[in-house]
Amino acid sequence: MTLSYVPGDSVGHRLDPRSKLLVQVAFAAAAYAHTTPRGLAVLTPLAAACLLAADGGARDLWAYRVALPFLLVAPLVAGATLGAPWFRVERAAGTALASYRVLLILVVAAAYVRSTPVRESRAAVQRTIPGRPGVFLGAGVALVFRFLPLLRRDLFAARDAMRARLGDERPVRDRMRIVAVAGIDRALSRADRLGTALVARCFAWNPTLPRLAFRRVDAPALALAGCLLAAAVLRVA
């Protein structure tokens, strides 16, 4: 399952993308400011509420399955020592809180990706950052959202093709090399075709983007973002 935009009529879908971006930034700031178990416990239901507001659920987190093992193993690696006492609980606890904080931020990010079309994300970036830097960043965001799922699909296709040819009987190092080389080759091929397509379509610095406007439904989201930012600033101060 790949995390991507899913059309819908939820509260998250009706929000202005700039409101959702502000909530993401404020949530991340609050998560890094309040690193205690109590602070993360308060942020946990808030992250779950963000995902539910976008009609999402636990199944959407499966898209992060590549990162989840690292988050789980990190506390064990941090707590392990080469000598007595062989394992330091305080180090493991600190790293476990950091891993959980990252997981909460990923949950909020999943809510944004699920409820926001790529064109609206690009429009939000370009209208927040003026001039050509905003256009450049907006186009970059759009390309990342559009092509990451394709590149991931190419890697899976290369892996499946290798398995069909009994490649799974090779050593792990050889399998990794085959999949990596095939993935890079397809990525470079897609990049060449993308450049040709941009030239053929006369890529411009002033594209026509969807109109964005704050509405009443954005008021709670903006208020939430303001509260999270205030909590982060007060904690740091």
pLDDT at 85: 80
Judge contact between 34 and 229, C-beta under 8 A: no
Judge contact between 75 and 102, C-beta under 8 A: no
pLDDT at 170: 80
Q: Which residues lie closer than 8 Å to 199 by C-beta, 6 or more apart?
A: none
Closest CA relative to residue 60, chosen from 8, 17, 22: 8
User: Using CA atoms, how far apart are residues 117 and 55, in angstroms rounded to an integer?
Assistant: 15
What pLDDT, in 10s, does the model give residues 50-96?
999 999 888 878 777 778 888 888 888 888 888 788 888 888 888 99
User: Using CA atoms, how far apart are residues 165 and 149, in angstroms rounded to an integer?
Assistant: 25
pLDDT at 191: 75
What pLDDT, in 10s, does the model give residues 193-225?
777 776 676 666 666 777 888 889 999 999 999
Average pLDDT, the chain: 83
Domain boundaries, the chain: 11-116+215-236, 130-200
pLDDT at 206: 62
Q: Hey, what are 82's tokens?
A: 């080469």
Q: What type of residue is 185?
A: D
Complete DSSP assignment for the chain: ---------SHHHHS-HHHHHHHHHHHHHHHHH--SHHHHHHHHHHHHHHHHHTT--GGGGGGGTTTHHHHHHHHHHHHB-SSTTSB-HHHHHHHHHHHHHHHHHHHHHHHHHHH--HHHHHHHHHHHS-HHHHHHHHHHHHHHHHHHHHHHHHHHHHHHHHHHTTGGGS-HHHHHHHHHHHHHHHHHHHHHHHHHHHHHTT--SS---------TTHHHHHHHHHHHHHHHHHHH-
